[in-house]
Amino acid sequence: MVRRVVRGIGSVLIFLGVLTLLFVVYQLWGTGLAEARSQRQLKHEFARELRHAIPHAPGATVTATAPSTEPVAAPPPTPTGEAIAILEIPKLGVERAVVEGVGVPDLKKGPGHYPGTPAPGQPGNVGIAGHRTTYGAPFNRIDELGPNDPIYVVTRQGQFRYEVIEKKIVAPKDVSVLDATPDNRLTLTTCTPKYSAAQRLIVVARLAGPSAPAATAALTPTVTATAPAATATVGASGLGSEHAGLSGVAEARGPALVWGLACLMVLTATGLLARAWRRWPAYALGTLPFLVVLYFFFENFARLLPANI
C-alpha cells in the first residue's frame, strides 16, 4: 500500500513537472503562433484602410527605399487593440503592426502604442512597447541597434523615418522616458535582461524629416507617476503595468476551466483505452488530441497571469 501511494505521488509529480515544462515551451515559442495569427489579420485590415487614407500608397509594408508620401490630416483616434501603424526595423528584420494600447491583450497581438503619447509620426515623444521573449518577441534584438540605424513607421498620415540616437537601461518605474520632449522622437521600451523583467531597455530614435499634423484633441503632455493607471509605470515588457492588469484578464477563467476539463477528459479517455487495448498504441493515439487541447488551455491560462516578458 505504501509503495502504491509513493508510486502514485511520484507519477503525479512527474506529470506536473512535464506540464510545467510544456507551459514554458508554450510561453517561449507557442505564444508566437497566436501573435503571428493576430499580425496577419492586423496587417490585412491596416493595408485596406491605408489604401483609402493615402491614395497611391505602396501598401502597409515600409522599406528603406519606399517613396515617401505627403503627411495628411490626423485621422480619428484608433480604438484600443486595433492597428495604428506598421513598424519596420530593417537591421533586425522586424516588421510588425503596432496596436493601440499596452495592456495584456494588446501586446499579445504585437508592439503597443502608449496611450497619452503622440501617434507615430506626429510631433513629440511617441512611445511603443513590445515583448522581448514571448508573443513573437518583436523587440528581442533591439539591444543590437546603434546610432543612426533607421526605423520606419507608416501610418494613415504617411511614412516616417526615425534614426536611433540613444540606448539606455532604466528602472521599471522610471516613467520619465515617456515624458513630452521638444524634439520629435520615437521611444521603444522592453524588458531587460532577456527572460527577466528586472529592468527596462529603452531605445530612442529621432524623426528625420517633417512630422505629421497632430490631432486636434490635446494630448497628455507627460506620463508621470500620478498619471492615470493606463500609463502609471513602465511595467513588464516595458508597458504600463497598471494598465496591463497585474491580475490578468478575469474573463479568461471560464475558457481556461473548460479547456482544463477537456484536457482531463482526453487523459481519462486515453487511460481507459490503454487498459482496454494496448498501452503504447493508445498513448500514441491520444497524444495529438491532448497537445491540441493543451495548447488552447495554455492560451487561456496565460491570460490569467500578470503581464509577462
Q: Where in the sequence numbering do the catalytic residues fall?
A: 131, 191, 200
Cα(59)–Cα(45) distance, integer angstroms: 11
Angle between helix axes 253-276 and 279-302 (nearest 10 degrees) is: 180
Residues in the chain: 309
Cα(251)–Cα(240) distance, integer angstroms: 20
Provide the residue type at 296 as one letter.
F
* H/E element, 189: strand 185-192
Cα(62)–Cα(268) distance, integer angstroms: 51
Question: Kindly report the CA angle at 8 between 3 and 12, in degrees rounded to 5?
Answer: 150
| Cis peptide upstream of residue 193 (ω within 30 degrees of 0) | yes
Torsions phi, psi for 12 (to 5 deg): -65, -45
Sign of the dihedral defined by the CA atoms of residues 252, 192, 194, 119, in that order: positive
Of 168, 188, 172, residue with least CA distance to 91: 188
Of 181, 180, 177, residue with least CA distance to 190: 177
Cα(212)–Cα(210) distance, integer angstroms: 7
* H/E element, 263: helix 253-276
